[in-house]
Amino acid sequence: MTFKAPVKDMLFAMQHLARLDQVAQLPGFEEANLETAQAVLQECARLNEEVVAPLNWEGDKQPSWWQDGNVITTPGFKEAFREYAEGGWQGLQHPVTFGGQGLPKTIGAACTEILNAANLSFALCPLLTDGAIEALLTAGSEAQKRLYIPPMIEGRWTGTMNLTEPQAGSDLSLVRTRAEPQPDGSYKLFGTKIFITYGEHDMAENIVHLVLARVTGAPEGVKGISLFIVPKFLVNPDGSLGARNDVRCVSIEHKLGIKASPTCVLQYGDQGGAIGYLVGEENRGLEYMFIMMNAARYAVGLQGIALSERAYQKAAQYARERVQSRPVDGSVAGAAPIIHHPDVRRMLLTMRALTEGCRAMATVAAAAYDAAHHHPDAETRRQNQAFYEFLVPLVKGYSTEVSHEVTSLGVQVHGGMGFIEETGAAQYYRDAKILTIYEGTTAIQANDLLGRKTARDGGAVARAIAQQIAATEAELAGDGSADALAVLVRLQAARQAFEEVVGFMVAHAKSDPVAAYAGSVPYLMLAGNLVAGWQMARALLAARRALAAGEDAAFMRAKIATARFYADHILTRCAGWRDSIVGGHAAVAAMALEAY
């Protein structure tokens, strides 16, 4: 099947929900209007539809492989990455000062989704490089920025994030990789890192590893962790490459999905010590690494949306073509394409509504990020930063859990053919599973949402969002159409369920943490569902206005129908989560541990 980037829906979300016109008024983004966004997205779509997407299934059939310390990527990846880099796509959102294009996240996020929908395994390399660039922009010295960032933006070098060790997964206090200070100001690193995405490959001249390690004599726990630049090839002061550093890929993992992306085990210091350079100050490494992690968490949420879009497109095409059985209403005399069957349409609409709802949520979050970093008013920046930070675990957690549901439905629409690898539906399902795990599992996102984003401020940001949702409810009431009034009923009930849960979490987070955290993932799912449903309600209102103005009637009617379906079939899940959180928390801890 041919992938088609959903440019029209992306532009709709930017224009009507994220208010791109307001983003374009921010200092530095004056050229980032709807016309610019359309031109960028269309060119991004062309590259990915024609060059990157055709390699997706090939990568699943012929993954990257390891041989004598080297990783050879899927045939065609190296050439595609060169074209991606030469097009300037790696620098899309990065500063012009270092060779980037300086576009807002609102536009960049859409391009990230397109790339990931085209080929998730391929897109992971640029994703990690973006994170490395962000970390160095924030914490690196001026010399480090000048030396390492431009080659990564140019795509000549790539970046990685080295956190995990065999004994230290989510608990980074257990990191053992050690760094020994040297007389010249550098450090020598010794240790093993696992699950390093694109930790070794053949697509770039150099790889800039950002590594968490513990300086000799540092405090125990997370307070003693520092961040280091450890390049695959040492870099001379003029930017040219020097000797090979003492970091080697000793194996790659064999995985359920994302098979073309090499997931490496890296060994540091087997031959005397890998030379590294401290980023920022000693013992602040986790703080700096969180910059990469937050950027990556949002991007992983986009990966979930991307896979959902790809699975939906494939399922919808199959449903239009697969002839099987007579429709129950007799609308066709004999056997008809399965899209005539009510349950197939229910599955397709579920896939579509979840995808569009998550895309709308992520687009609005991106606009908040842009305002938080570029708005001239300090209070506006603060409010947008708080809103964005609340949404990041929702974009990451909810959108990736949704992708698992959507890709599973994609297999189901195909029936038995979905279970056959050659149809391609199964690859999206297998690829989706990792999204709920890496860059922080869904439970970690939920703990962040509950502890840092809700309990810490007494639910202030959560309740402020509920007030914004109530304002949208008033708009729905003012619209007065049957669709708007039906969505109003569902949105109001979901918002009230959310407010009840926020109150429960604030009351119990400290006094009875087991009761609160037993419902942390359902809380995340409720919040993500609500915020996505809120954006779909706003989309319905925008589509009705556009329809009245005579704009693209077919698209607007489909948007209204999708938003109505979301309200009737997806927002209604919120009450169940509320009941399980508030009334069912005791059941989670009721069973004795030895009974499991």
For the segment 434-464, what is each residue's pLDDT rounded down to a tens digit?
999 999 999 999 999 999 999 999 999 999 9
Q: Are residues 73 and 134 in the same domain?
A: yes
368 forms beta bridges with none
Q: What is the pLDDT of residue 1?
A: 62
Q: Say if residue 99 is in the same domain as residue 220.
A: no
Of the residues 252, 286, 320, the one at which a domain ends? 286
Q: For 578-592, how does the pLDDT look when each residue is reduced to its tens digit (9 = 90+)?
A: 999 999 999 999 999
SS3 for 40-58, per residue?
HHHHHHHHHHHHHHHHHHH
pLDDT tens column, 204-240: 999 999 999 999 999 999 999 999 999 999 999 999 9
Q: What is the CATH number of the domain that holds 98?
A: 1.10.540.10
- Does 491 fall in a domain? yes
Residue 293 confidence (pLDDT): 86
Asked if residue 116 is part of any domain, the answer here is: yes
Q: What six digits make up the tokens of 328?
A: 């129950």
Q: How far is CA 486 from CA 89, 490, 508, in A?
A: 42, 7, 34
**53 domain residue, yes or no:** yes
Residues 170 and 35 in one domain: no
CA of 51: how far to CAs of 57, 108, 407, 431, 493, in Å? 13, 19, 23, 20, 46
Q: Closest by alpha carbon to 530, among 584, 566, 481?
A: 566
- Count structural domains, the chain: 3
Average pLDDT, the chain: 97
- CB under 8 Å to 208, separation ≥6 — which residues? 132, 148, 152, 157, 158, 159, 160, 229, 231, 232
220 and 232 both lie in a single domain: yes
Q: Do β-strands 70-72 and 263-268 pair in parallel, antiparallel, or remain unpaired? A: unpaired
Q: Tell me if 432 is assigned to some domain.
A: no
Count Cβ neighbours within 10 Å for each residue of 502-532 and write b for 16 or more, e otherwise.
Answer: bebbbebbeeeeebbbbbbbbbbbbbbbbbb
**409 domain residue, yes or no:** no
DSSP 62: S
Asked if the model's pLDDT at residue 119 lies above 80, the reply is yes
175 domain-assigned: yes
Digit-coded pLDDT (tens) for 265-323: 999 999 999 999 999 999 999 999 888 888 899 999 999 999 999 999 999 999 999 99
Same domain? 198 vs 104: no
Q: Does the reported pTM lie above 0.85?
A: yes
pLDDT digits (tens, 9 = 90+) for 408-420: 999 999 999 999 9
Structure confidence by residue, pLDDT tens digits, 132-161: 999 999 999 999 999 999 999 999 999 999
Print the domain residue range for 531: 457-585
Is the pLDDT score of 32 beyond 90? yes
In single-letter form, the type of residue at position 413 comes to: V
Q: Looking at residue 244, which CATH number applies to its domain?
A: 2.40.110.20
Q: Are residues 167 and 249 both part of a single domain?
A: yes
For residue 430, is it within any domain?
no
The predicted structure's pLDDT at residue 173:
87
> How many angstroms separate the Cα of 222 from the Cα of each of 79, 164, 194, 286?
41, 13, 18, 7
Instruction: Identify whether residues 150 and 12 lie together within a single domain.
Output: yes
Q: What pLDDT does 291 receive?
A: 82
Q: Tokens 């860059």 map to which residue?
A: 439
Among candidate residues 237, 263, 286, the one where a domain is terminated: 286
**Does one domain contain both 193 and 242?**
yes
The verdict on residue 275 lying in a domain is yes
Q: Say if residue 100's pLDDT is above 90.
A: yes
d(CA 185, CA 279): 12
Residues acting as catalytic residues: 439
Q: Which of 286, 311, 333 is the endpoint of a domain?
A: 286
**% of the chain at pLDDT higher than 90:** 97
